[in-house]
Amino acid sequence: MADVPALSLIEKAALLTGKTMWETHDFPHAGLRSLWLADGPHGVRRQAGAGDRMGLNPSLPATCFPAAATIANSWDPELAYRLGVAIAVEAAAQGVDIVLGPGLNLKRSPLGGRGFEYFSEDPLLSGKMAAGYVRGIQSQGVAACPKHFAANSQELHRMVSDSVVDERTLRELYLSAFEIVVREANPRAIMSSYNLLNGIHASEHPWLLQQVLRDEWGFTGAVITDWGGSNRIVSAIAAGGTLEMPAAGYASAREIVAAVQTGLLSEADVDARVSEMLNLIRASAPVESVSAPDTAAHHALAREAAARGTVLLKNDGDLLPLAPGTKVAVIGDFAAHPRYQGGGSSEVNPTQLDTVFGLITESELTLSAYAPGFRRDGRPDAALLNEAVAAARAADVVLLSLGLSEADESEGKDRANLALPSNQIALLRALAVANPRIVVALSLGGVIETPWLKHCQALLHSFLGGQAGAGGLLDVLTGRVNPSGRLAETMPVSLADTPTARWFPATGRSAVYREGIFVGYRHYSTAKVPVAFPFGFGLSYTTFEYSDLTLTPERATLQVRNTGSRDGAEVVQLYVHRASAAVPRPELELRGFARVELAAGASALVTIDLGEQAFRYYRVATQSWAVEPGDYEIRIGASVADIRLRGVVTLPGEATAADDGLEIIAPDTPEASATPEPSGSGIRELTPASLISEMGTAPSLLARLIHRALQRRLRKAEAAGQLDIGMLFISDLPFGQLAKLTGGLLDAATVSGVLQILNGHFCSGVVSTLRAFLANRRANQHTAAQLAAAQRH
């Protein structure tokens, strides 16, 4: 624990809360500077000027690298490291001390609204990729802050949703990636999530933050709340939470002081959190020690990363790569106005933005025509379709850019389905009649259904490729880069086949993880559910041969040879199968992987480390990890469905009770349900836990009129194919969190007065609100004076 300087109790309390939207408190007399935090999962997002209360205003220009969903397909932690270095260099140049990323929540469902910010449906791949980012960021003196800890799987009602998860599932899936990044990369901070976990808010969860994160994993850094995600600051400090963000005036600091003075909180707990802040401040390098960013080099890195993350899913008749001089009709609105990042707090203001339409002639292809082909808002347009069909007839090959609009994928909302817009599918079908030589290039942040696959000859999925994604795509199309991306998440045949289809997203206040450990490929392989494209799948312009497998309980070694005529990279994947398990286990679990670059005809010895973690499961009965004795089949392949080599290792271990398996989640309360809570038809009073969107059932006409106005604004944006993200965030916000997101303008008492008004007690509510508002203002002024006096002395 770092030595705590001679700070007064109110100064210690203030240090554990934000000073502004993005900045912590500074105490120069104690040698403590402020820290600046900024979003940064795939690029720095420091807001220009003063930060707005939702954190959504425009930001300073920075390189927009491909999203995590794209980078994960590279299966290349070293690439993640290089991206982390570049992000940190740009962060430091903008005066940012803490990068809020990477995001590494598990992709429980492909409908998850922030899936583009996360890596994979597998915790090992997620953890290894995130660890690469963290090492790269922190190598430049900037702190990384992986997020969102933990079990933060849906956007709907994200601030009040309770993730109900059995402990084995929690340990093996939803905590595992965080454990990897903590143990292997030692991040200086971690962001807690908005949601509750088994009934307790993640930001104030002692088992999660203290027992698991600090005591078991050895984490010594700071736990920072998600913005506005703090509920009870005193409980958070006692549980292991370090910093409440953003600034909420001085109300939280006063709560801390009062709790210590009345014995509800020990000053030792306050000092422990202050010590964590001191370590964070002292570990941050001065900006001058970091080199200025080379924006051209970073753009080139972004292009390289986009190419590595592009997955070739279909290539009938070896249509790709395209030869120089091929006459290409570029069709699709995304070719000229690309979808290159997701919406919300991760949005980056790019230093430049490439387009397929703008770069195609530089790639030695001949542009025969460009046609937008479809309306981005999904409405049919016969004129656009006919123009595209005419362009297709005159070309050797059609490059068709399809995907989802900005309104379809964003923080704050979950996806409604896995389908492409019907107007895009209609366009594809019409083009296939005119010219069957079609290459479809997808731009979206996750996976989709592909019932239209027969209408194209080749299919590439670039996910969200960042500002240089167009160049990366063209590099793959022309063979300048041999595609080596492998899917980090399964592409199902249909949404109905996904393990969470019947209960995701949960529309009530509880999200029950009924599928347990059977998520993603763990479900599909165990239940024998056919998929469109399996986890780990991706084609190449060359071929690879596996041979000479040698196994020990510690490692696997094998030879991999490039048997084709082009240089390329293969991702060797190691899965473990336990056939005679006494406890329920998935058919296959990814336990190691290696990316290997090979020249044509070359071979290499590949080694994949195993160790106990490759065979363990979490034994709930003993609250510990265990290894069953017996035989384990090791399967080596190019995807979960393309196994090339097999072998067996035999392990000693603990005998396992026959009933030592998954806990059955059977909540005995009506609230613990993944289905909507009964709303009834009556009027309900609003409480601090009520969502702003629930004003429609409030007692007062005023509340219902405000609700209608909010809904009209959201519908208007949706009808225009746009997303009013600020209004979306506000509508899903609990009233109580207004005290955390108004910069001290409102406190809990003021919000209580506002609720009185909205509940129909207008006169008394106005009086209560004014009194509370004025009292809060006086209290903030007094606290500010206290802090100023302490600095002077």
Q: List, as own/partner pairs, every contact residues 502-505 make where C-beta atoms lie below 8 angstroms and the sequence separation is at least 24, other chains included.
A: 503/674, 503/675, 504/108, 504/109, 504/111, 504/112, 504/153, 504/154, 504/414, 504/674, 505/109, 505/111, 505/154, 505/155, 505/156, 505/414
Select from 563, 488, 664, 608 the least CA-distant residue to 115: 488
User: Which residues face 311 on adjacent strands?
Assistant: 461
Decide if 64 contacts 348 (C-beta within 8 A).
Answer: yes
CA 204 to chain CA centroid, Å, is 21
**Looking at residue 366, what DSSP letter applies?**
E
761 contacts: CB under 8 Å, gap ≥ 6: none
Q: Is 504 helix (H, G, I), strand (E, B) or coil?
A: coil
Query: How do strand 642-651 and strand 311-315 relate by DSSP bridges?
Result: unpaired
**Beta-strand pair 61-62/349-350:** parallel
E-strand spans in 181-232?
A: 189-191, 196-197, 200-201, 222-224
Q: Please identify which of the residues 39, 76, 226, 724 carries the catalytic annotation.
A: 226
Transcribe 84-119 into DSSP letters.
Answer: HHHHHHHHHHTT--EEE--B----S-TT-TTGGGS-
DSSP helix/strand/coil, 720? coil
Active site residue 226: yes
- d(CA 588, CA 640) in angstroms, rounded, equals 8
Q: Rounded distance, CA 1 to CA 501, Å?
A: 46
| 115: Cβ contacts below 8 Å, ≥ 6 apart | 69, 107, 409, 415, 445, 446, 489
Euclidean distance between CA atoms 139 and 358, whole angstroms: 36
- Residue 287's SS3 state is helix
Q: Using CA atoms, how far apart are residues 738 and 753, in angstroms rounded to an integer?
A: 12
d(CA 585, CA 506): 25
Q: Which of 156, 232, 247 is nearest to 195 (CA)?
A: 156
Q: Which two tokens stand for residue 333?
A: 């609105």
Axis-axis angle for helices 701-719, 748-758 (nearest 10): 100
Of 233, 229, 217, residue with least CA distance to 270: 233
Judge contact between 235 and 204, C-beta under 8 A. Answer: yes
Instruction: Output DSSP code: residue 738.
Output: G
**Considering only CA atoms, which of 478, 563, 489 is closest in space to residue 524?**
489
| Backbone φ, ψ for residue 741 (5° rounding) | -125, 15
Q: What is the DSSP string of 505-574?
A: S--SSEEE-TTTT--THHHHHHHT--EEE-TT--B-SS-EEEEEEEE-SSEEEEEEEE-SSS-EEEEEEE
Which tokens is 359 given? 């770069």
> What is the maximum span of the chain, computed from C-alpha positions, in angstroms?
83
Give the distance, in angstroms, between the CA of residue 34 and the centroid of all CA atoms in the same chain.
27
CA dihedral sign of residues 5, 9, 13, 15: negative
Q: Looking at the annotation, which residues are catalytic? A: 226
